[in-house]
């Protein structure tokens, strides 16, 4: 009798152990997919934000909205720049927006075709700048056009000798110099020990090809968007980031349309719809108007009959513009002629790049 009870107890224990093992296996099989998904899913987000086309107030507003969305949804941001610059005021606003963003998360920039003048200013605060060998960066400086004088007469009356013009030449050049100093100083500060150029060399406003820019410290490394995304993820401590591309269409609705003033930027442009149009300064008298101050490459500007001036060590110097057909930089006319035959926009574009991008 005692033997039967002992055998029954052992059998019950064995059956219970087997049941426990089976339950453990089934439970593990049910939980395993969840554990695998958790281990292989994204551990954060890198947002990609473009700067495409001529910089103006509209682009600056879109940029602010895109960065606000990135700040809310991402752990790091990659800025993709492809612009010849534009309005000085809008460029300064975009610079400050990038600077504020970098205070809260890693920011890495990458250049598609061109990041010239105001576009380079906008990405200057980035932790790193990636370029392609064929990219162009630089043109650190300010240009401006000054409307002609208008004297008081029997048609235009004023209550003060300066009322009709609103400003003088001294104020105009002081504004250019202040903007130039802020631009150059910011580039020198943000590039820091990586920069192999002196402040005076930066202020010459030269444009550098991608490989040269890496050598002199205007950029950090040769790489594309993927390299920039990986660098941003590393700075944010992400091993498996998801990537979210935020465009003006996402924050404003409708199609994403960009206007380019340099052919190099136009052909590299990634907007849904794109058009080519130089930056035009108004042919207006000084009465009722103000100087046009730009952080743009002069090759992107069509000034009409106006004279564009820039500041360098010699003082105020006239610069070539998009409408100037003088040969600059030794660019060949044969290649441009072939390109012009394939694009109705390329006729003006060829002159713009001849006057600018390779200068």
Please state, as a whole number, how many other Cβ atoms lie within 10 Å of the Cβ of residue 43: 16
Q: How many residues does the chain have?
A: 359
**Where is average pLDDT lowest: 71-75, 219-223, 293-297?**
293-297
125 neighbors 102 (Cβ within 8 angstroms): yes
Please state, as a whole number, how many other Cβ atoms lie within 10 Å of the Cβ of residue 14: 10
**Who wins on pLDDT, 343 or 21?**
21
**Where is average pLDDT lowest: 31-40, 73-82, 148-157?**
31-40
Averaged over 291-309, what is the pLDDT? 77
Distance of CA 215 to the CA centre of its chain: 21
268 pLDDT above the threshold of 80: yes
**Who wins on pLDDT, 126 or 17?**
126
**Average model confidence (pLDDT) for the chain?**
78
CATH fold for domain 44-355: 2-enoyl-CoA Hydratase; Chain A, domain 1 (3.90.226)
Alpha helices in the chain (DSSP H): 2-40, 57-73, 88-102, 118-123, 169-191, 199-203, 210-216, 225-236, 248-252, 263-268, 333-340, 346-355
Question: What pTM was computed for the model?
Answer: 0.76
Q: Which phi and psi (to 5°) does residue 153 adopt? A: -145, -165
**Who wins on pLDDT, 347 or 138?**
138
Domain ranges of the chain: 44-355
pLDDT confidence bin for 145, thresholds 50/70/90: confident
113 token code pair: 């075709």
Query: Which pLDDT score is estimated for 28?
Result: 56
Who contacts 12 (Cβ-Cβ below 8 Å, separation ≥6)?
Answer: none
- Count of alpha carbons within 13 angstroms of residue 329, beta-carbon side: 19
Who contacts 263 (Cβ-Cβ below 8 Å, separation ≥6)?
Answer: 276, 339, 345, 346, 349, 350, 352, 353, 357
pLDDT confidence bin for 170, thresholds 50/70/90: confident
What is the rounded end-to-end Cα distance, in angstroms, of the chain?
107
**44: exposed, middle or buried (Cβ count in 10 Å: 0-12, 13-18, 19+):** middle
Averaged over 253-257, what is the pLDDT? 82
73 pLDDT above the threshold of 80: yes
Query: Which pLDDT score is estimated for 131?
Result: 97
Per DSSP, the residues of 30-41 read HHHHHHHHHHHS
Query: Which pLDDT score is estimated for 172?
Result: 78
pLDDT confidence bin for 252, thresholds 50/70/90: confident
């Amino acid at each position: 009798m005692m033997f039967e009870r002992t055998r029954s107890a052992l059998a019950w224990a064995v059956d219970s152990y087997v049941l426990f093992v089976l339950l453990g296996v089934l439970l593990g099989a049910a939980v395993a997919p969840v554990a695998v998904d958790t281990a292989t899913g994204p551990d954060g987000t890198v947002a990609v934000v473009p700067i495409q086309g001529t910089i103006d107030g509209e682009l600056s507003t879109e940029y602010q909205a895109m960065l606000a969305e990135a700040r809310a949804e991402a752990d790091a941001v990659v800025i993709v720049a492809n612009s010849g610059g534009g309005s000085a005021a809008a460029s300064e606003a975009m610079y400050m927006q990038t600077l504020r963003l970098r205070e809260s998360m890693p920011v890495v920039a990458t250049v598609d075709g061109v990041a010239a003048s105001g576009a380079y200013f906008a990405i200057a605060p980035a932790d790193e700048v990636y370029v392609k060998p064929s990219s162009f960066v630089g043109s650190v400086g300010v240009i401006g056009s000054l409307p002609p004088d208008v004297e008081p007469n029997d048609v235009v009356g004023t209550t003060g000798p300066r009322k009709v013009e609103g400003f003088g030449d001294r104020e105009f050049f002081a504004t250019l110099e202040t903007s130039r100093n802020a631009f150059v100083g910011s580039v020198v500060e943000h590039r820091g020990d990586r920069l192999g150029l002196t402040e005076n060399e930066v202020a010459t406003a030269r444009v550098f090809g991608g490989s040269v820019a890496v050598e002199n410290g205007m950029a950090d490394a040769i790489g594309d968007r993927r390299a920039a995304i990986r660098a941003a993820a590393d700075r944010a401590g992400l091993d498996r980031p998801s990537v979210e591309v935020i465009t003006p269409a996402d924050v404003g609705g409708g199609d994403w349309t960009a206007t380019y003033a340099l052919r190099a930027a136009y052909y590299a442009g990634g907007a849904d719809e794109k058009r080519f149009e130089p930056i035009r300064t108004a042919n207006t008298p000084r009465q009722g108007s103000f100087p046009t101050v730009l952080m743009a490459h002069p090759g992107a500007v069509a000034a009409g009959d106006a004279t564009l001036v820039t500041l360098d060590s010699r003082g105020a110097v006239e610069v070539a513009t998009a409408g100037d057909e003088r040969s600059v930089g030794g660019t060949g006319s044969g290649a441009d002629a072939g390109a012009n035959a394939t694009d109705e926009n390329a006729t003006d574009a060829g002159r713009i790049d001849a006057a600018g991008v390779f200068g």
